[in-house]
Structure 1
Amino acid sequence: MSPTAPQAPTLLDVRDVVVEYPVKGFRAQPFRALKGVSLDVRPGETVGLVGESGSGKTTLGRAVLGLAPVTGGEILYNGADISGYGRRQRRALSSEIQVVFQDPYTSLNPSLTIEQILTEPLVVRKVPAKQAAQRVRELLDQVGLPTNAAARLPRDFSGGQRQRIAIARALALDPRLIVCDEPVSALDLSTQARVLDLFRDIQDRTGVAYLFVSHDLGVVRHLSHRVAVMYHGEIVEWGSGDQVTSRPEHPYTQKLFLAAPIPDPDRQEERREDRRRLAEQLAEAGA
C-alpha cells in the first residue's frame, strides 16, 4: 500500500510547462517535449513520475533542475518562479533542490575519495573543515555505510553502495526537495529494494520531498504518495499512489501495469494479449 500523502502547502508547483527543442531544417517546427504539464509536490511527499522512454518524464525533471529550457509556463518553488533562474541563482538554490542521477557508476568522480566527494558541496558553502568532516561521518551513517568508507575510492564499492554515496552527496546540504532520475534502474532487484527502503527511511527521518522519475510503475508503487503518468509529453493520469498503481484508468497506465511480470505463465500470456490490445487502442486513438 502506498503511504498517505502529507497535507501541506505546495513546495514545488509546475504550471503548464512547455519545453521545446530546435529541429534542424529550413522552417522546421521545434520538437515539443513537454506540452503544458502541471503537477505539484508537497513538503515531505514523494510524487512518482512514470512513463516509458520518450514520454517526457526525464525532461520534466531536468526542467525543474534548470537543465532543460522552459519555453512556456512556470515552475514555482516556495512560491517563486525559478524557471528563468541563471547559473548564480541556481547555485544558491542547490542547498534547497538536489538530484540523484540514474547511473551510480558515472555520477561519482572516480579520482576523488568518498570524503572528497561528500565534502565538495560543503566546501562551496564555506563550511569549516571540522564541521565538514563531522557532516561526512553523519552522512555515511545516514545511508548505512561505515565511517572508513570515507578514505576509499568509488571503484571500491558495488553499484548499490555507490548509489548510497550519491544519495549521501544529495543530502549533504539538507535539501527540501530531491529530484530522483531513475535512481534504481541500473541496480539488480534485491539492491533496488534496499535502496528504495533507504529513500523511504531518509524521508521519514528528514522530511525531504522527492520527485521520483521512473519507467517502472512497480518501483514507485510502495514509495509514492501520488503518481503522475506521462505519455507523449503530457500527463495522462494523476492521482493517489494506490489508485494509479493498482487500479489505473487510462489505457496507457493500464499498459504499464500489465508490463510487470507474474509467475503464472498462462496468466502472463493473457497479460501480453491485453497489452497488445491496449497498444492498438492507443495507436487508433492517436494519443
Structure 2
Amino acid sequence: MSVMCNGRLLKVDEMDVSYFGRGIRKKPFRALKGVNIEISPGETLGLVGESGSGKTTLGRAILGLAPVTAGSIVFEGEDISHATRARRKELSRDIQAVFQDPYTSLNPSMPIGETLAEPLQVQGVSSADANRRIRQLLDQVHLPSDTVNRLPREFSGGQRQRIAIARALALSPKLIVCDEPVSALDLTTQARVLDLFLQIQQETGVSYLFVSHDLDVVRHISHRVAVMYQGEIVEQGDAMQVTTEPRHPYTQQLLLASPIANPDEQAERRRMRQELKAVPR
C-alpha cells in the first residue's frame, strides 16, 4: 500500500502511562514503558499485540483518556500530553475514535440522526448545515437516508459500526484511533468494513492508528505496523515485512498463532510456537 506523507502528524516520544494504586505502599502499575511511534498524514499505523499488552491504553492516551506520566504526545507540532479539557474539546475536531463494540458506543434510545448531529452541535454547526453533513456521512458509509430516524437496535453489527465510523468522520478529523473496530464482526463483514476504512482514507486523507490483535487485519489495512508486548513496542516497520517475516520472537509467535486451513501446516505452527516459548523476548 503506497502513501504520500508530508511531514509528521503525530509523534509519541518515550511515553509512559502509570496507574497509581491506593495506599502509601502500593506501587504504581506501569502500563506503557517508553513508547515511540509516529504517524504521517494519510498513513495507517497498525498496532498489534495480545490482550493486556497495552494497545488500548496507547490509544486512550492519545485521546486524553489515560494519564501520561512521562514522555510526550505531539500532534501537529503541539504537545497535547496534558491538554486541558477545553483544549481537548477543540482537538476533537482533529482526533476522533471508533471503538470495538458499536452497540455500546451508541446511545440505544437516541435516533441515529441525533447521534450523528451531536458532535456537530457541540462545535456550533447550525441545524441546516448539520443535516446536510449527516446526509453526506450516510452516503459516505453506504447507508440509506432513512437511517436517521431509526434506533441502533434496528441495525446489524456491521451497520452499527458504519454508523460509528460516520460519527467519527462528522468533523472531518485528521486522525482516527480505531480500537479493535472489526473484532466483534464476522469475517465477511470484517472485510467489508476494512474496505470501507480504506476507501474513506483514499477519499479524505485521514490517518488511522488501527489497534488489533489480528496480524491478518493489520496487514490488510496498514502501511506500517508496531508490535506491543507488556507495554513496550518490540518491533516496528513496514506492514508486509512485520506481518510475514517478523524478526522478534513475540511477533513470530503472533504469526504462528494465526489460523490456517491446512491441518498439517497448523500442526507444524503449533510445534514451532512451543519452541519459541523458550526463547527470551
Q: Same fold (TM over 0.5)?
A: yes
**Mapped partners of 2:215, 2:226: distance in 1:** 10
The correspondence of residues 91-106 of structure 1 with structure 2, limited to 5 A, is 91-106=89-104
Q: Is the 2:5–2:42 contact (alpha carbons within 8 Å) kept by the matching residues of 1?
A: no
Q: Is the 1:17–1:34 contact (alpha carbons within 8 Å) kept by the matching residues of 2?
A: yes
Partner of 1:197 in structure 2? Answer: 195
Q: Is the 1:15–1:73 contact (alpha carbons within 8 Å) kept by the matching residues of 2?
A: yes
**Mapped partners of 1:24, 1:256: distance in 2:** 35
What is the CA-CA distance between 1:26 and the residue it aligns to?
A: 4.5
Describe the superposition over 1:16-60 as per-residue Cα deviations: whole angstroms up to 9, x where unpaired: 000001134552321111110001000000000000011111111
TM-score for both structures, normalised by structure 1: 0.96
The correspondence of residues 181-220 of structure 1 with structure 2, limited to 5 A, is 181-220=179-218
1:264 and 2:262 equivalent? yes
Describe the superposition over 1:79-99 as per-residue Cα deviations: whole angstroms up to 9, x where unpaired: 100000121110110000000
**Mapped partners of 1:25, 1:5: distance in 2:** 49
Partner of 2:220 in structure 1? Answer: 222
User: Aligned residue pairs: how many?
Assistant: 281
What is the CA-CA distance between 1:242 and the residue it aligns to?
A: 1.0
Partner of 1:69 in structure 2? Answer: 67
Q: Is the 1:14–1:76 contact (alpha carbons within 8 Å) kept by the matching residues of 2?
A: yes
1:39 is aligned with what amino acid? I
- 2:90 is paired with a residue whose SS is helix
**Mapped partners of 1:276, 1:98: distance in 2:** 40
Describe the superposition over 1:227-276 as per-residue Cα deviations: whole angstroms up to 9, x where unpaired: 00000111000000111011111010011111111111111011011112
Describe the superposition over 1:146-179 as per-residue Cα deviations: whole angstroms up to 9, x where unpaired: 0111111101000000000000000000000000
Q: Is the 2:10–2:40 contact (alpha carbons within 8 Å) kept by the matching residues of 1?
A: yes
Q: Is the 2:48–2:215 contact (alpha carbons within 8 Å) kept by the matching residues of 1?
A: yes
The correspondence of residues 21-32 of structure 1 with structure 2, limited to 5 A, is 21-24=19-22, 26-32=24-30
**Mapped partners of 1:202, 1:7: distance in 2:** 17
**Mapped partners of 2:205, 2:174: distance in 1:** 8
Structure 1 gap segments, 5+ residues each = none
TM-score for both structures, normalised by structure 2: 0.98
Q: Is the 2:223–2:238 contact (alpha carbons within 8 Å) kept by the matching residues of 1?
A: yes
Describe the superposition over 1:3-26 as per-residue Cα deviations: whole angstroms up to 9, x where unpaired: 124332000000000000113455
- 2:265 is paired with a residue whose SS is helix
**Mapped partners of 1:278, 1:131: distance in 2:** 57
**Mapped partners of 1:280, 1:113: distance in 2:** 53
1:44 is aligned with what amino acid? G
Q: Is the 1:5–1:226 contact (alpha carbons within 8 Å) kept by the matching residues of 2?
A: no
- 2:42 is paired with a residue whose SS is coil
2:134 to 133, 136, 140: 136
2:18 is aligned with what amino acid? E
What is the CA-CA distance between 1:222 and the residue it aligns to?
A: 1.4
- 2:278 is paired with a residue whose SS is helix
**Mapped partners of 1:180, 1:199: distance in 2:** 10
**Mapped partners of 1:47, 1:5: distance in 2:** 12
Partner of 1:112 in structure 2? Answer: 110
CA RMSD of aligned residues (A): 1.0
**Mapped partners of 1:242, 1:5: distance in 2:** 14
